[in-house]
Every structure is written in C-alpha cells, then in structure tokens.
Amino acid sequence: MSEPPLRRTLVRDVMSTWVVSVGPDTDFDEVARVLALHAVRAVPVLEGTRLLGVVSEADLLRTAERGDGGVGHERPQWRDPRRPTTARTLMSTAVVTVRPEASVAEAARRMRERGVGWLAVTEFDGAAEHVVGVLGRTDILSVYLRDDAELRAEIVDGVLRPVLDDEAVAVSVRVDRGVVTLAGSVPDRGRALRLAALVGRLEGVVAVHDELVPDERNEPMAGPVH
C-alpha cells in the first residue's frame, strides 16, 4: 500500500524575504548598532545580494576583548592596526545556509546540528551565492501554529481514508492544541501502528495518543495448546 501524500512545508513558504544585513565596508560600531537595533545575534555581509560572510555578536566580542589592555600591558591593544574594524575583516565566511526548496524539517535539523539560531536562504547564480531570505527558529515553529480543526481534517482526509478506506468511520480523531488522540477499531495492530506513525509525521502534530484497538474478528485465532 502506497504512502498517502502528506503536507510538506518548504523553506520558501515561511522564510523572511526582508533581510537585515551589512555591507563589507560597514564599520565596527555600525555593525553593533544594527545588531542591537534589530535584536538579532548575527547579520549576513552582502555585496548587493551576493553572500560574503556573516558577523555575529561573538565576532564583535572577540574584537572588543582585544581592546582591553589588561594589567601589565604598556599600551592598549586597541591601537593595534591589525585589529578588525569593518564587517569584511570581522566576518566569518563559514555561513550555514539552506536552499528555498528544502523542507522546514531539513532546515530545523541543520540548525540543531550546526548549533545556530538562523539560516541564510541562498540560491546560486553561477559560482556566486545570493541571499534570497533568512530563516529563524520562529519561522520554523510557525508550522505548528495550525488550527486544530484544520489539522483534524488533514488527518481524516489525508491519512485515515487513504489507509483504511471505508473502515475509517470506525476511528475517532480528537485534536487539542496539536495533541492528537486516535481511538476506535482498526483491522489489525499493524494498521494501528502505521496510522499513529503517519499522523505523527504531520506538520503541526505535537504528540499522538494511540488508543486504537484491533478488530478481534480479524485477529488470528490461537492454535491448540499441546
């Protein structure tokens, strides 16, 4: 039996196309102001839309520490001409990116694995990588902000009926703030497990409570005991 088609939100569906960024020649103080003004922890460094790198709070803090002469220093280190002063010299070129056609689930996994709170959404034009949006944790969590009635309708029409056909009427579905309870009778335990697994994969489902019971008429009879 083939898998029923399930909703799959893509990065392009939830990303922000308004990108807070700085240019490569933006000075240290202006980068700090941009981060504070927009309450973000990092900004991409762009030349037009071409991605050059990213400057984070950590980059600024490392540079600020170099300005503290500390005890025993004859002169403050901020006078060191090698001290980074622009976004180009502050930035890291190792930017964690994602494509707009990637799924939100893939983007969430990438955020977790790389330990970042946002991703630059990019497309390639030849060898150049261009930013078309940004994706934050809030954007990813938006897929869970689905109405319970909408979610229940998708479960019934997109999972129960394709899997159980006419026998779907024997299953009740309750949804409370994304928590789904499946109850009633199913032909066999294997079908119950499959339903619970499919419902658990739906975007917006927080948890699944499986209260399904196999129809005893379809369960194999135990053989005689010798």
In a domain, 4, yes or no: no
Closest CA to 15 of 142, 145, 111, 134: 134
Say if CB 180 and CB 199 are below 8 A apart: yes
Task: Read off the pLDDT band of 78 (50, 70, 90).
Answer: very low
Extract the runs of DSSP E, i.e. beta strands, from the chain.
Answer: 42-47, 50-56, 97-98, 118-125, 128-136, 171-176, 179-186, 207-214
**For 108-145, how does the pLDDT look when each residue is reduced to its tens digit (9 = 90+)?**
999 999 999 899 999 998 888 999 999 999 999 888 88
Structure-block tokens of residue 174: 């309750």
Does residue 30 sit in the same domain as residue 113? yes
What ranges in 136-187 are assigned the alpha helix state H?
137-141, 148-155, 161-164
The per-residue pLDDT for 105 is: 87
Residues 135 and 36 in one domain: yes
pLDDT at 65 exceeding the cut of 80: no
Structural domain that includes position 169? 146-217
Reported as a single tens digit per residue, the pLDDT across 171-184 is 999 999 999 999 99
Question: Would you say the C-alpha torsion 132, 135, 140, 142 has a positive or negative sign?
Answer: negative
The structural domain count of the chain equals 2
- pLDDT above 60 for 202: yes
DSSP 8-state assignment for residue 87: H
Quote the distance between the C-alpha of residue 143 and its chain's center: 9
Return the beta strands (E) in 50-189 as ranges.
50-56, 97-98, 118-125, 128-136, 171-176, 179-186
CATH of the domain at 98: 3.10.580.10
pTM exceeds 0.85 for this model: no
Say whether pLDDT at 186 is over 70. Answer: yes
Are 79 and 127 found together in one domain? yes
Say what the pLDDT of residue 5 is.
Answer: 67
The CA distance from 135 to 124, in Å, is: 17
Report yes or no on 121 lying in a domain. yes
Question: Domain end: 128, 143, 158, which one?
Answer: 143
Shared domain for 93 and 19, answered yes or no, is: yes
Q: Is residue 202 situated within a structural domain?
A: yes
CA 68, 86, 134: angle at the middle one, nearest 5? 115
